[in-house]
């Protein structure tokens, strides 16, 4: 009989165990009911200037989402605002940042035209893929970038791109917000989760300079030929290290330098057309940070070589101009060298149907801040000039190739015109043809600018984020630049230097964002109530069917107290 009772009890418990397991499983899953989507997100840069913090100071995220239609007086301290660039109210963002109002985080949705991975987006400013109002969106994004990189933001800030998934989630969030009930633990909605470790300082980041050399033709009696240096910084800076490709600044300058090196390598490969000038080509790093790499490169170059430099031409942002370029100099326009450079460029520009202007800006030798790359040369008393489409010197970390500087807004035709102007001007100076109307790099000749070459390299740079501290010294892109210079110049070498100065950078630039659709606590409680009632009824039926009503009642009856015998 005891065995029969134990069998019945085992039968009851075997029937109840699966139901209890189901209950715990439903409870565990009740909060995260549905993973809506997973997207790549790019964090706002985090850095210090002389110990002063800027950018986003946190990376981890685990908050409910809301749109810009959130109810007034809402507590947003544990809320991530999803803001499409198309709907951006820059005044609202300025107010929240300047007044340091509590906020769980920001997620900006960018149009696909700014996505360097968008295969259909390339082709320059005449691309049919550019939508109406693209220039206005570009201006808004530029203003947003400048605001974010110059602010200290105590919560995570991320960027991602519009697509079907993010737009569907945002539309659902807007509908919820329109009811006047923002997403919370009690109302449900969507939760945004980024699971990453907190950012750490990048220890001893490196910057890499690449130098190539085309030796001139020496004759009897020549001890050392004069040198012309052509230099371009190739790295960038922007609100997000993972999105800063700098198609124009300074991708266009680096591409122009490579094509100029290719053209002169053809001339210098033949002793009959080799000039009596050495040509020094330098691709430098640290451009956005007072041209730190250029400074280190110049100080490491042999003093005799540095003293042999007749002048240096620095290339900066030459990919989106139409009819006029500017020559920026530190020496006065009356200087004989400056006059010679400007007149040479002006003569060629007139023949090409474009204009060049001259801008003079004095430098302070004791001030580490330099606005143009040529100023690092000027500090060492080397004549130099910067060729740029910009008519005025940018401020620190301005016009340095951020998210806004994408391939869609750069035209290879502008780069080709820049190459032709610079190469022709240099060649006439080298071969003494200043006063002669001779086109050395004439179209349809063997020395014509190769538009396919320019476009190919422009496409590569426009797909490669190049924020220096996040670009390792053996990065495939840097090795590709070195190999390209080796194909066209001699004695190519790379210089690795530790990035130093007043800037400190932090890692964690890209992550995965998990967007979960969560149920409200009210729904959870109702679900638990229904399940609990169901289990009680099911348990009662099972016990009655196997043991009888009396046994069921005895389960809930207090057991009789036992008397303790005393001696």
Tens digits of per-residue pLDDT, 519-529?
A: 655 555 666 67
Q: Are the C-beta atoms of residues 290 and 362 closer than 8 Å to each other?
A: no
In order along the chain (567 residues), what is the average pLDDT of each group of 10 residues? 53 51 49 69 97 96 92 86 95 91 95 82 47 86 97 97 93 85 64 94 94 92 88 97 96 98 97 95 96 94 92 97 95 94 95 96 88 96 97 94 94 96 96 82 94 97 95 94 97 92 92 87 63 71 62 62 56
The three-class DSSP label of residue 555 is helix
Just give the CATH number of 206-498: 3.40.630.10
Closest CA to 64 of 200, 226, 181, 213: 181
Per-residue pLDDT, 566? 53
Side by side, the strands of the sheet bearing 355-360 are: 355-360, 324-329, 384-388, 309-316, 227-233, 278-284, 206-214, 490-498
Cα–Cα distance, 41 to 148 (Å, whole number): 16
Per-residue pLDDT, 125? 43
Per-residue pLDDT, 201? 95
Q: What is the largest CA-CA distance in the chain?
A: 131
Region for 495 from its dihedrals, namely left if φ exceeds 0, alpha if ψ lies in -120 to 50, beta otherwise: beta
Q: Peptide bond before 250: cis, by omega within 30 degrees of 0?
A: yes
Closest CA to 318 of 256, 236, 370: 256
Cα–Cα distance, 484 to 212 (Å, whole number): 10
Torsion of CA 44, 122, 249, 105, to 10 degrees: -10
Distance of CA 347 to the CA centre of its chain: 39
Closest CA to 50 of 506, 505, 507, 504: 504
- Give me the count of residues in the chain: 567
Cα–Cα distance, 338 to 356 (Å, whole number): 13
Strands (E), 422-499: 490-498
Structure tokens at 89: 């109210």
Cα–Cα distance, 220 to 479 (Å, whole number): 38
Cα–Cα distance, 105 to 59 (Å, whole number): 10
Pairing assessment for the beta strands 490-498 and 324-329 based on DSSP bridges:
unpaired
| Domain range annotation of the chain | 34-118+130-200+509-519, 206-498, 525-556
CB count within 10 Å of CB 219 equals 8
State the residue for tokens 């009811």: 179
DSSP H/E element including 480: helix 476-488
Per-residue pLDDT, 372? 97
The three-class DSSP label of residue 76 is coil
Which residue(s) pair with 503 in the sheet?
A: 49
């Amino acid at each position: 009989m005891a065995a029969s009772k134990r069998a019945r009890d085992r039968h009851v418990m075997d029937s109840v165990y699966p139901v209890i397991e189901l209950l715990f499983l439903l409870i565990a899953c009740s909060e995260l009911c549905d993973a809506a989507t997973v997207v790549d997100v790019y964090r706002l840069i985090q850095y210090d200037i002389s110990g002063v913090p800027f950018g986003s100071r946190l990376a981890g995220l685990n908050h409910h989402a809301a749109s810009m239609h959130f109810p007034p007086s809402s507590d947003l301290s544990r809320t991530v605002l999803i803001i499409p660039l198309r709907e951006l109210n820059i005044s609202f963002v300025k107010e929240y940042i300047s007044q340091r109002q509590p906020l769980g985080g920001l997620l900006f949705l960018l149009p696909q035209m700014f996505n360097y991975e968008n295969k259909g987006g390339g082709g320059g400013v005449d691309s049919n893929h550019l939508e109406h109002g693209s220039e206005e969106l570009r201006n808004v994004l530029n203003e947003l970038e400048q605001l974010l990189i110059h602010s200290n933001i105590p919560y995570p800030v991320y960027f991602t791109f519009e697509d079907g998934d993010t737009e569907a989630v945002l539309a659902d969030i807007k509908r919820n917000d329109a009811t006047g009930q923002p997403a919370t633990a009690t109302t449900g909605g969507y939760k945004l989760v980024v699971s990453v470790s907190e950012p750490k300082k990048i220890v001893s980041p490196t910057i890499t300079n690449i130098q190539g050399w085309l030796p001139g033709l020496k004759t009897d009696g020549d001890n050392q030929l004069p040198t012309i240096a052509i230099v371009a910084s190739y790295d960038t800076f922007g609100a997000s290290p993972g999105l800063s490709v700098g198609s124009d600044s300074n991708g266009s300058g680096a591409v122009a330098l490579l094509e100029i090196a290719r053209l002169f390598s053809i001339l210098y490969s033949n002793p009959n057309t080799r000039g009596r000038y050495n040509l020094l080509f330098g691709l430098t790093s640290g451009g956005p940070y007072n041209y730190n790499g250029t400074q280190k490169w110049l100080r490491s170059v042999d003093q005799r070589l540095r003293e042999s430099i007749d002048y240096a031409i620095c290339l900066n942002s030459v990919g989106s101009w139409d009819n006029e370029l500017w020559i920026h100099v530190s020496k006065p326009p009356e200087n004989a060298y400056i006059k010679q450079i400007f007149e040479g460029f002006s003569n060629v520009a007139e023949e090409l149907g474009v204009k060049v202007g001259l801008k003079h800006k004095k430098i302070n030798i004791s001030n580490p801040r330099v606005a143009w790359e040529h100023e690092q040369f000027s500090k060492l008393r080397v004549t130099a000039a910067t060729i740029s489409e910009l008519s005025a010197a940018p401020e620190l970390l301005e016009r340095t190739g951020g998210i806004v500087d994408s391939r869609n807004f750069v035209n290879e035709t502008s780069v080709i015109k820049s190459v032709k102007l610079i190469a022709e001007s240099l060649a006439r100076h080298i071969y003494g043809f200043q006063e002669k109307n001779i086109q050395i790099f004439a179209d349809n000749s063997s020395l014509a600018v190769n538009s396919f070459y320019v476009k190919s390299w422009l496409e590569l740079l426009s797909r490669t984020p190049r924020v220096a501290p996040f670009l390792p010294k053996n990065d495939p892109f840097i090795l590709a630049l070195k190999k390209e210079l080796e194909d066209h110049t001699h004695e190519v070498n790379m210089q690795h230097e530790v990035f130093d100065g007043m800037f400190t950078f932090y890692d964690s630039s890209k992550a995965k964002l998990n967007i979960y659709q969560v149920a409200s606590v009210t729904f959870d409680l109702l679900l638990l109530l229904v399940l609990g009632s169901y289990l009680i009824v099911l348990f009662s039926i099972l016990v009655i069917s196997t043991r009888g009503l009396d046994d069921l009642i005895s389960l809930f009856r207090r057991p009789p107290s036992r008397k303790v015998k005393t001696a």
